[in-house]
Amino acid sequence: MGYLLLAGTIAAEVAATTAMKYTEGFTRLWPSLVTSLGYVVSFALLAQTLKTVQIGTAYAIWSGVGTAAIAVLGLLLFGEGLSPAKVAGILLIIGGVVVLNLGGTAH
């Protein structure tokens, strides 16, 4: 259940960050409300996630997957360029999340 909540956390954060692009510096009402609500939902779900998922693992997945998703959405929705450095960065983020998860738990 924790990882399902984490998926919701990531989706809310990515939606909020994407909506922020449309706020024009928080001068547009509806995108600003979507941004604010998305972050509130994201943090609320993250707090619930941390009841069952270790904080290091949860945060690594949340930030890593969110960052990679926003980079891809920037490319697809906003025409941002894709350089070899960006591809390498996204792959390193994904690799880092995988390595952290493979590390298991230490007591």
101: which residues sit within 8 A by CB, 6+ positions away?
Answer: 57, 60, 61
pLDDT tens digits for range 2-12: 999 999 999 99
Q: What percent of the chain has pLDDT over 70?
A: 96
DSSP state letters, the chain: -HHHHHHHHHHHHHHHHHHHHTSTTTTSHHHHHHHHHHHHHHHHHHHHHTTTS-HHHHHHHHHHHHHHHHHHHHHHHH-----HHHHHHHHHHHHHHHHHHHT----
pLDDT tens digits for range 15-29: 999 999 999 999 999
Better-predicted residue by pLDDT, 103 or 2: 2
pLDDT tens digits for range 67-94: 999 999 999 999 999 899 989 988 998 8
